[in-house]
Amino acid sequence: MSDDAPGGRESGGGQPGGPAQPEASTSSAAAPAPVDYEALYDQIKDKPCRVVQINQRLDGFSGGKFRTRAALLERELEPIYKAETLADVHHELDAAGRRLKQLGVFSDVNFLAHEEPLDDPSACTVDLQLEELNWFKLRAATYVQGGESTFELGAGMANASGNAERFDANLEYGTENSHTASVSYSQPRLAGLPLVLELRGSQLFRNNQKASSFTEQLRGVVLGLKSMSGVHGLEYEIGWRRLLDPSRTASKAVVAQMGDYLKSSLRYTATIDHREPGAGGSAATLGGAGWAVRSTSEVAGLAPGSGAASGTLRFVRQQLDAVANVPMDDTGAVVFSLGLTAGLLFPWGDDALLRPTCIADRFFLGGASSLRGFKFKGAGPTDVRRPAPRTGSDEQQQPRRDALGGDAYTSIFASLMFQLPHPALQLLKVHGHAFVNGGNVVQLAGTGRSPGAMLSELGSTFRWSCGLGLVIPTPMGRFEANYCVVMAAQEHDRVRRGLQLGFAASSL
């Protein structure tokens, strides 16, 4: 703006000879006043407004065919037309965006409202842009479960018929020859409700010979309903289980478990998660700062005409997991973490407490995920294995023992996690921790002792350990290299004093 503009002359503050002030004041007078959009929206949000048209721009994956059916889109967009005010329109657009994303088939969901047509001030149109994800995917992954590293290969088809459905086929193979083959079908937002329908069939072989001298075969079907938020989940499982002793050296307690079982159970899971994954720092490897609780309740023995004599499993199983992560500073460089896991397996039916529960349903303790300083399944009740054919090299060896697990258990931990000073280690999220672990597991059924006496044993024979270590996040879980000190152990426990390497699954 030139110096002889009218605004420039008037804004000189009565000092036309000032060389700098008039030019500065000229820019100030020409700048538009800032608009308080929140205040403006508060003034007009309750005015009548309705959506008269939704213009859809539908893009398939990478320029391909758009697969999602029009009827499904109309179902999710219909509530938008019921809005009566501007605030209602904004609310319904946000809700519709969440519903469309919950379908899991769109990479991009965008709404834009226009004040059109201009001859009707209470009407508006909405532009909707949708871009679909690839409908076919292949994946490969590795993870650690039960002390065994597993490779997973899977293929999935999402939205192949345009109903946002998903078909998956998975094959998993472990380092101990455990393997699983499964196929599944899922339908999000079933009938427009915030529910996911899941149907899964699987055939499983799990090798437990190293710790407990048996293998498990399981063929079954699971039908489930889950909330879109992930808070609630209800599953019905029916399957046939077979336990075998291929080594012929299993202990008497394990041999008594061999045979066929029918499992028919209803399982309910509730999860409350108030962790913030974006908190960063050491807490990020634990799921974020905050707390989370998960409860899993299962009742088995629901098949018609089932009974103990028919080989049908009949039990109530309850498990509770809780974790809290508290950053000690704003950067998350130091985090205090506290966790608790507890479970109870209780048989039901005539003379239920006189017979041991099935070993495949029991709780086990030991390893980096539950009790550091002890080997995997290394704490709890055991029984001596039958002797193997002797050779000259093993006559002096101590007889090995089978881990039997238990019907009641608890595991607690407290740790202080801290970032390491080297920038390269911080980039890789490698950090240190100091920890204290405690836990115990006991049998209730088939022991001839009262539940009160066994629960008293749960407290009096507690195992404890502590130590220091390094934690390295990997796709297989948290790899830990720990120096462990075992403070309390029981006879026949398989301890791991000193350096212990292992993978720990993420909390919850």
Verify that 345 and 467 share a domain, yes or no: yes
Q: Are residues 242 and 376 in the same domain?
A: yes
Please indicate, yes or no, whether residues 183 and 306 belong to a single structural domain of this protein: yes
Residue 29: per-residue pLDDT: 55
- Is position 224 within any domain? yes
pLDDT in tens, 165-202: 999 999 999 988 899 999 999 999 999 999 999 999 99
Tell whether the torsion through CA atoms of 458, 460, 463 and 464 is positive or negative: positive
pLDDT at 390: 64
Specify the CATH number for the domain of residue 43. Answer: 3.10.20.310
The answer on 193 and 101 residing in a single domain is no
Domain end residue (candidates: 110, 132, 154) = 132
Q: What is the CATH number of the domain that holds 254?
A: 2.40.160.50
Residue 254: count of CB within 10 angstroms of its CB: 22
Q: Identify whether residues 181 and 283 lie together within a single domain.
A: yes
pLDDT for the residue numbered 21: 44
State whether 125 and 166 are in the same domain: no
Residue 279 CB neighbour total at 10 angstroms: 20
Determine, yes or no, domain membership for 2.
no
Q: Any bridge partners for residue 244, and if so which? A: 215
The predicted structure's pLDDT at residue 285: 66
Looking at 98, 132, 166, which one is the last position of a domain?
132
Are residues 232 and 103 located together in one domain of the fold? no
Residue 157 in domain: yes
Examine residue 9 and state whether it is found in any structural domain, yes or no.
Answer: no
* Cα 225 from Cα 129, distance rounded (Å): 30
CB-CB contact of 166 with 138 (8 Å): no
What pLDDT, on a 0 to 100 scale, did the predictor assign at position 143? 78
Domain count, the chain: 2
User: What is the Cα–Cα distance from 452 to 104, expressed in whole angstroms?
Assistant: 49
Residues of the chain with pLDDT under 70: 1-33, 35, 37, 146, 278-285, 287, 305-310, 389-397, 506-507
Q: Are 269 and 298 in contact (CB under 8 A)?
A: no
The two tokens of residue 165 are 């459905």
Collapsed DSSP state (helix, strand, coil) of residue 481: strand
Indicate the pTM of the whole model.
0.84
- The reply to whether 75 and 184 lie within a common domain is no
End residue of a domain, out of 132, 160, 194: 132
- Domain hosting residue 53, numbered range: 39-132
My answer on whether 97 and 245 are in the same domain is no
> Are 111 and 72 part of one and the same domain?
yes
Residue at token pair 């209780």: 346
Q: Is residue 250 part of a domain?
A: yes
What is the model's pLDDT at position 142? 82
Q: Is residue 433 part of a domain?
A: yes
**Same domain for 450 and 335:** yes
Specify whether 235 is located in the same domain as 167: yes
- Cα-based torsion angle of the residue sequence 268, 322, 438, 432 in order, rounded to the nearest 10 degrees: 130
Answer whether residue 8 is part of any domain.
Answer: no
